[in-house]
Amino acid sequence: MTHPFELSQEIELGATPEQVWDAIATGPGVDSWFMGRTELGTSAGDPADLTMMGHTQQATITAYEPGTRLATRSAEAPDGQFMAFEYLIEGREGGTAVLRLVQSGMLGDDWETEFEAMKAGWPIYLETLRQYVTHFTGRAPSVTTVFRPGAGGPDAVWKTVTASLGVTPDVAEGAEVRLPDGSAGVVYYANLPVNLGVRTDEGLYRFIYSGTDRGDALVLGHQNFAGADEQAAWDAWTAERFG
């Protein structure tokens, strides 16, 4: 049985409305802070597709107002499930902007678990967007996505991730870390023991625990703005640590 839902998030960004628009309404822009690869058209009726780990989630642009509003809607599944997004940009004094995101639609039988997972997940993505427009705006990344099922419970996953970065499980935002390749970074988001975000001079790195009724998993979503392809290295790291 399906169930309607609506989730609203808001964030103030140190970027102009034009820069925020480029980050949420172009494929390279979305790739710079979200997951996978996004294809976005430039008018209502054009595609708004997300491809991740070999699967493409198809959607259509339903509103396209450059600099102010973008809305998309996925196709409706046979059971009535669908997902819609609306991004609203409001310019503020000093060349800044506020972005309001509204996600809505119909979820399935396990709607409460799905809703809570989305509610817990959006803050790290929006903070990654803030990091992108602050430190890497206009630069297209090389994207790494890894999904590792059976990684273990949240405490075990968190302990392994933090140890690999050279910090303790009580790590907080602002802490200095070191990635497995030796790159120095700083924690820009920490929600123990679920989500961790790290920024280096060349990229943004996210370690996300995903726990549902289908099991536990570790999800990596990384962007390297120097153009380095890190997929094989992170595949190997994940297999070694969570094999």
Of 80, 101, 136, at which residue does a domain stop? Answer: 136
Mark which of 136, 165, 191 sits at the end of a domain. 136
Of all residues in the chain, what percent carry a pLDDT higher than 90?
82
| Burial of 42 per CB tally in 10 Å (0-12, 13-18, 19+) | exposed
Write out pLDDT tens, residues 71-102. Answer: 999 999 999 999 999 999 999 988 999 999 99
pLDDT value for 212:
58
Per residue in 189-228, pLDDT (tens digit) is 999 888 999 999 999 999 999 875 556 889 999 999 999 9
- 149 shares a domain with 103: no
Please tell me whether residues 132 and 226 are part of one structural domain.
no
- Quick one: pLDDT band at residue 187, thresholds 50, 70, 90? very high
The reply to whether 114 and 57 lie within a common domain is: yes
Asked if residues 118 and 112 have their Cβ atoms less than 8 Å apart, the reply is no
* pLDDT reported for residue 210: 85
123 and 18: one domain? Answer: yes
Q: Is residue 113 scored above 90 in pLDDT?
A: no
Taking residues 171-181, what's their average pLDDT?
A: 97
What domain count does the chain have?
Answer: 2
Mean pLDDT over 146-165 rounds to 94
For the cut 90, the answer to whether the pLDDT of residue 133 exceeds it is yes
Is pLDDT above 80 for 117?
no
Query: Which domain covers residue 191, as residue numbers?
Result: 142-242
> Has residue 152 got a pLDDT over 70?
yes
Residue 232 has pLDDT above 80, yes or no: yes
- CATH number for the domain that contains residue 57: 3.30.530.20
